[in-house]
Amino acid sequence: MSKPLRGADIVMRVLQRAGHDRIFTLSGNHIMSLFDAALETRPDLVHTRTEAAAVHMADAWGRLHGTPGIAMVTGGPGHANAAAALLTALGQESPMVLLSGHTETSQLGRGGFQELRQVDMAAPACKASWMADRVETIGMEVARALKLATSGRPGPVHLSLPSDLLDATVADNEIIWPESGETRPTPVALQDAAADTVLALLATAERPLVIAGPQLANASGRALLARLETVLGVPACISESPRGLADATLGAFADVVRRADLILLLGKALDFTLKFGAPPAVDPACRFVSLDPEGLWLDRAARELGERLAFGCVADTRPAAEALLRRAAGKGGGNAGWREEARAWMDERPAEWETLRSATPGKLHPAEVFRALRPIVARDPDTVLICDGGEFAQWGQSMLPLVPRRMINGVAGSIGSSLPMALAARAAEPRAPVFAVLGDGTFGFHMSEFETAVRRALPFVAVVGTDARWNAEHNLQLRDYGADRAHGCELLPARYDLVVTALGGHGELVESPDQLVPAFERALASGKPACVNVMAESIAAPTLRRG
């Protein structure tokens, strides 16, 4: 007769059977049974310094692999710390699962230890949020979470695990185990007739444009989109930035969108980033096609666009792209002149950026930093580049190569995720360089994770632009209220390089352009988590527009 299993044992075995051998976690009372169960299944527990960092790491893992990253935190305040980070993963359509410990079910409503309405707290920031209620089915709940995270439009899922269910034992013959495949999604294909309708609409347009959603912002997704552009002869891009049409990565994107007469939304929600498809950002005569994993977004597009929505269909993004490729094979098509023009506009950068220099002694213009970093990032095709939010990182997004494995803060517009993401990227990529680009305000969110990186031997290079202020907000004040009303955004020109050195990493201070390349090379060669602290001018993010 087999030994009874605890709920914690069931959870860890389901994760093991589904191939999730790395878990980003921070310990706490409610989940110590899971740590104990991990002695049997032997996952790599990457123990972080903050719960939010564990979520950001799982987010990055999901983006890089396409399979759910796993974050595991304790209940109450641990869950509260983690829940806010879910929004970044939600905006970027990143598959991940947050497993949170929870107050015992017997204490609910009675003021139990760290009792909190965890399900309600997480719900607005993820695809689904619920609490397990039976030890016999707890494995099925984990399987359901894994499947939901990658179904349709990928995204984060939260499952609360009450500590009494994790501690409770149950006979093996009473456990309801998920069948093989129950942790994986069933893709929704685009039917041939629908694909032919889309292709016919693209063929009748003079200036069509494909805009894909953030879920394609990884190596395989970018390769798929490049194939689609080549086969269809239609310019294609990914809209993944909170700056929307002013995305620094996409050059004069706003001008391309304004000239388009048909826009195919390939898993891209018609939201604020596209100005809801409304004039003057989009030509009032421009028509739309929406291929979306969720009927909800199709309905919203229909309400926003009315008769301008020429066709809409529910289909998962990757299968939809593959169906279009299959049905278009050998047919040619597309306006070559328009495609080349649109691509040139999105790839173009102002010539003067190559000569921009700082006017302030001891400080560098962001353009100087990224001109020096550009060839270093480009020399390895497997490089992972993480660009956080903020003005300094926007220069990085615009000037650095769009490497296949690039991650940004995403549609949610939050900042602070880049350092934890760099750790997860190194855990996923053992050889190629990993760079994180961020400002000094952003650095403060998760600087303690350098200790995690040193402890776990996860080297990467953080390039920090230190302009001693919350620069994005400072520039908002200048723009909206005037220079005489700019206040409250000041920081110290701190020695973040020394902070990293004190935590066991490698630090570099840069105060002149000639110091940049040697500092980058020493940081890479150190084999340690490294910070290149660049004293930078306070410069607004770049904006590119032709007309």
- 295-321 pLDDT, tens digit per residue, is 999 999 999 999 999 999 999 999 999
Taken in order 394, 396, 398, 404, is the CA torsion positive or negative?
negative
pLDDT for position 109:
84
Q: Tokens 């403060």 identify what position?
A: 444
User: What is the spatial distance between Cα 84 and Cα 124, in angstroms, rounded to a whole number?
Assistant: 10
Is the fold of 192-347 the same as that of 351-535?
yes
- 360-398 pLDDT, tens digit per residue, is 999 999 999 999 999 999 999 999 999 999 999 999 999
User: What is the spatial distance between Cα 489 and Cα 469, in angstroms, rounded to a whole number?
Assistant: 5
Six-digit token pair at 60?
């990055």
pLDDT for position 113:
85
User: What is the spatial distance between Cα 197 and Cα 312, in angstroms, rounded to a whole number?
Assistant: 10
Summary count for the chain: helices (H), strands (E): 22, 19
Element of type H or E holding 321? helix 317-328
User: What is the spatial distance between Cα 510 and Cα 378, in angstroms, rounded to a whole number?
Assistant: 21
User: What is the spatial distance between Cα 477 and Cα 484, in angstroms, rounded to a whole number?
Assistant: 9
- 234-258 pLDDT, tens digit per residue, is 999 999 999 999 998 999 999 999 9
CATH number for 351-535 (one of 1.20.1330.10, 3.40.50.970, 3.40.1790.10, 3.90.1150.110): it is: 3.40.50.970
pLDDT for position 545:
64
User: What is the spatial distance between Cα 140 and Cα 142, in angstroms, rounded to a whole number?
Assistant: 5
Parts of the chain with a pLDDT under 70: 1, 332, 545-547
Six-digit token pair at 196?
């032919």
User: What is the spatial distance between Cα 292 and Cα 347, in angstroms, rounded to a whole number?
Assistant: 27
The fold of the 192-347 domain, in CATH, is Rossmann fold (3.40.50)
Q: What dotted CATH number matches 5-174?
A: 3.40.50.970
What ranges do the domains of the chain cover?
Answer: 5-174, 192-347, 351-535
* Exposed/middle/buried for residue 456 (C-beta within 10 Å: 0-12, 13-18, 19+): middle
User: What is the spatial distance between Cα 173 and Cα 516, in angstroms, rounded to a whole number?
Assistant: 63
* Exposed/middle/buried for residue 407 (C-beta within 10 Å: 0-12, 13-18, 19+): buried
- The number of CA neighbours under 13 Å toward the Cβ of 177 is 16
Taken in order 14, 16, 22, 23, is the CA torsion positive or negative?
positive
Q: Mean pLDDT in the chain?
A: 95
pLDDT for position 546:
59
* DSSP secondary structure, 459-489, as one string: --EEEEEE-SB-HHHHHHHHHHT-GGG--S-
